């Protein structure tokens, strides 16, 4: 069943008591998430921050159905990400931290195929693909094989793939890592415009000034637990002092917590 939630006060993403332990073959178990609960309302620009290994990417993979949690539930727009996965996935555009492209595909083919996966028509894609390639400065690379792109160009292609089906929710795992300054600011503008149109955005990043500038809500995750959630009152500031201070305080406070 597909539920559609448009009310700005209703959570569009509900994460309820999610736990995840990895069981690698040759090393001890890794507890990646412990009883994580999080609510993100429709239209939010949400920043998820935390140290390396805190569990951010694991949470994103669970949200997008790429990783199955041990316990807990996640719903997106009222659709359970496991039981109603088709409806849930249709609502989300995701750019993962490690993106992989088919090396035998040209840049524009990669986008057409992704659009096809989401059931988009040829007519729609003929308009949307050039539009996105232009917006992300990849128009002159449309006939280049994906493995011949630079690191920053691959990152840009990953973001265009996330946007191809005009999703209601965009989830970006460190989207600006490796982007040059000009493109980082261009991406900020694009994301702000999308958010103003009502698109919900969930972003992870290690650049705290990015969160301070863009996000209206933040959560800090450390060792698999949410240790802080609140509004970003100083949204729009470009100096990172206050958020950086909060981040360091919260992480230091939980330094002795067991993983």
Ligand X SMILES: Nc1ncnc2c1ncn2[C@@H]1O[C@H](COP(=O)(O)OP(=O)(O)OP(=O)(O)O)[C@@H](O)[C@H]1O
Residues contributing to the site for Mg ion (CB under 5 A): 56-57, 97
Q: How many CB atoms lie within 10 A of CB 115?
A: 22
Smallest distance, ligand X to C-beta of residue 142, A: 30
Nearer to ligand X, 64 or 90 (CB): 64
Q: From the list ligand X, Mg ion, none, pick the one residue 58 interacts with, judged by a Cβ distance below 5 to 8 Å according to partner type.
A: ligand X
> CB under 5 to 8 A by kind: which of ligand X, Mg ion, none does 156 bind?
none
Distance between CA atoms of 162 and 120, rounded to whole angstroms?
Answer: 14
198 to 217: interface string for ligand X, x by CB under 6 A: --------------------
Tell which positions 81-120 bind ligand X, by CB under 6 A: 97
Nearest Cα to 214, choosing from 190, 198, 197, 230?
190
Whether residue 254 contacts residue 50, with contact meaning beta carbons closer than 8 Å, is answered with no
Minimum CB distance to ligand X smaller for 55 or for 115: 55
Distance, CA of 205 to CA of 232 (rounded, Å): 15
Considering only residues 49-88, where is the footprint of ligand X by CB under 6 A? 50, 52-58
d(CA 185, CA 19): 35
Q: Is the dihedral of CA 219, 64, 87, 168 positive or negative?
A: positive
Closer residue to Mg ion (CB): 39 or 97: 97
Q: Interface with ligand X includes 238 (CB under 6 A)?
A: no
Q: Which stretch binds ligand X (CB under 6 A): 45-53, 69-77, 125-133, 210-218?
A: 45-53
Q: CB 157 → ligand X: shortest distance, Å?
A: 20
Nearest distance from C-beta of residue 179 to ligand X, angstroms: 16
Out of 22, 118, 145, 207, name the contact with ligand X by CB under 6 A: 22
Q: Which is nearer to ligand X, 51 or 130 (CB)?
A: 51
The CB-nearest residue to Mg ion is 57
Q: Give contact residues for ligand X (rule: CB under 6 A).
A: 22, 24, 30, 32, 50, 52-58, 97
């Amino acid at each position: 069943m597909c539920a559609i939630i448009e009310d700005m006060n209703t959570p569009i993403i509900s994460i309820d008591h999610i736990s995840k332990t990895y069981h690698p073959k040759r090393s001890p178990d890794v507890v990646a998430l412990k009883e994580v609960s999080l609510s993100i309302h429709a239209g939010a620009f949400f920043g998820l921050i935390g140290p390396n290994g805190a569990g951010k990417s694991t949470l994103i993979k669970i949200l997008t159905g790429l990783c199955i949690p041990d316990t807990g539930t996640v719903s997106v727009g009222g659709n359970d990400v496991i039981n109603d996965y088709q409806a849930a996935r249709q609502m989300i555009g995701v750019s993962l931290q490690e993106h992989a492209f088919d090396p035998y595909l040209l840049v524009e083919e990669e986008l057409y195929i992704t659009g096809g996966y989401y059931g988009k028509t040829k007519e729609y894609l003929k308009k949307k693909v050039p539009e996105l390639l232009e917006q992300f400065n990849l128009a002159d690379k449309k006939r280049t094989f994906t493995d011949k792109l630079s690191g920053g160009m691959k990152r840009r292609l990953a973001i265009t793939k996330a946007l191809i089906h005009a999703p209601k929710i965009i989830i970006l795992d460190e989207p600006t890592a490796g982007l040059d300054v000009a493109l980082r600011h261009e991406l900020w503008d694009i994301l702000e415009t999308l958010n103003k149109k009502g698109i919900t955005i969930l972003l992870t990043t290690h650049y705290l000034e990015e969160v301070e500038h863009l996000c209206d809500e933040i959560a800090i995750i450390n060792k698999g637990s949410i240790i802080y959630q609140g509004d970003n009152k100083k949204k729009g500031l470009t100096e990172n002092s206050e958020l950086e201070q909060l981040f360091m305080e919260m992480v230091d406070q939980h330094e002795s917590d067991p993983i």
